[in-house]
Amino acid sequence: MAAALPDRCLRHRHGADRIGELPDDLLHQILHRVASTPAAVRTGVLSRRWRRLWADLTELRLDSVLAPVPGIGTVDGALDACCVPTVTRLSVSLDHLPPWGSGLSADRVAPWLRFASRRVAGDLCILLPPAAAGGAVVVEEDLRLPVCERVTEITLWLGYRFRLRMPAAGTFAALTFVNIRDARMDSRELEQFVSCGCPRLEELAVRLPPFLAESVVCIRSESLRRLDYHIKNTRRLEVAAPSLERLSMSNADRAYITAPELGEVAWEDDSFNPLRHQFTETGRRLRRLVLTLSSTTAELLQRFYNVDQLIVDILIPHGGDGYKSFLENVDMLPCCDVLVVQSTSTSHCSIPSLLHLLRSSTGVKKFVVYLEFNRILCYSIVLKTSNNL
């Protein structure tokens, strides 16, 4: 049988490198579909030609779970070996490493940011493990973010390790998305970065530990469409964003929001004061409103006449001054099509509040209640009606 085979087939059966004969474009497509850059490196055992092909990839995905030797040395080696002038994605995920002994000082992380400023034209994502249990800030080294003119998205979760310093000058010309968590920031540097350094920024999410001192933060942006702002001890937050459509916020003692296109609000504070929290130049209608309903946040409901979807979490015990204030402030809900009451305790204390909420509802076409039992099972009751409840 073997003698009948063509010579070409015999060469393939006796050691010819069929994988190595594939064109480079096809090999790069194969490696791009591998789960991570370290996994792409390990494919070098298949063929000699594959041993250096990974260095020509335009996406670097470095995950401590998939890396053969988890640690920052894997990141340093991959960046040093990278041969392409432009990288479309740099993702460094070391959040699975233990916080102790990881060696993640500012001097080790700063070169990754400098690499991004020179090479990345796309997404930059760096996720670090927490510096200590409980999320306490134990290290406050300065980590400087250089100007990244071609980066379009930045995600930095810094594990309470650093004080992130923003560049004093320069423009992030292509940047549209920013998500920064667990790092100290200076309020004035944050203002300058958003209002002057990012002319195309559309989404900003900041969940940070307290400023070093109570601060006033002013955010002005013509392009901003979504803002998630959660920074403790913010004394005053001013937002002027004519294109802003979605707002999620907490921890601002005073807030003044100027956003004529605002359509969705998630109010994560447990209090609301109409004298200190003001929505100016905004309409009386929202597509979606999410809040924890208490005796004080109930006043936020009076700000809007129509809410297409109202989502509330009731935390008002029956009886006492808080419950009386709730009854006074919630005599009429905004007109809404969908009313969702979520995470409602099944204790007797929550039932009167729920019934009062139903009696105050007008125009509701769909009513959803999530009931939680023993914090494990969650049931929902859905009521659809064409009449008022």
Query: What tens digit of pLDDT does each residue of 126-151 get?
Result: 998 887 655 555 557 999 999 999 99
Nearest to 259 by CA among 228, 224, 307, 291: 224
Mean pLDDT of 218-229: 97
Give percent above pLDDT 70 in the chain. 66
Mean pLDDT of 203-220: 92
Q: Where are the domains of the chain?
A: 285-389
Q: Which residue has the higher pLDDT, 243 or 327?
A: 243
Which of 54-63, 249-258, 268-277, 379-388 reaches the highest mean pLDDT?
249-258
Distances (CA, A) of 228 to 103, 190, 208: 31, 14, 11
The overall average pLDDT reported for the chain is 78
pLDDT at residue 102 tops 80: no
pLDDT at residue 185 tops 50: yes
Site of tokens 């500012």: 106
The predicted pLDDT at position 389 comes to 42
Mean pLDDT of 282-303: 83
The predicted pLDDT at position 112 comes to 95
The predicted pLDDT at position 201 comes to 98
The predicted pLDDT at position 155 comes to 97
Mean pLDDT of 33-39: 58
Mean pLDDT of 96-121: 84
Q: Running DSSP on this structure, what letter comes out for residue 335?
A: B
pLDDT at residue 197 tops 90: yes
The predicted pLDDT at position 132 comes to 67
Q: Tell me the pLDDT band of 388, cut-offs 50, 70 and 90.
A: very low
Q: Which of 138-147, 154-163, 257-266, 360-369 has the lowest mean pLDDT?
A: 360-369
The predicted pLDDT at position 9 comes to 46
Q: In the chain, which ranges are E strands?
A: 59-63, 87-93, 120-127, 141-144, 153-157, 162-165, 177-181, 203-208, 215-220, 226-240, 246-252, 255-258, 264-267, 277-280, 285-293, 306-314, 338-345, 366-373, 377-384
The predicted pLDDT at position 129 comes to 85
The predicted pLDDT at position 2 comes to 44
d(C-alpha 212, C-alpha 149), whole Å: 29
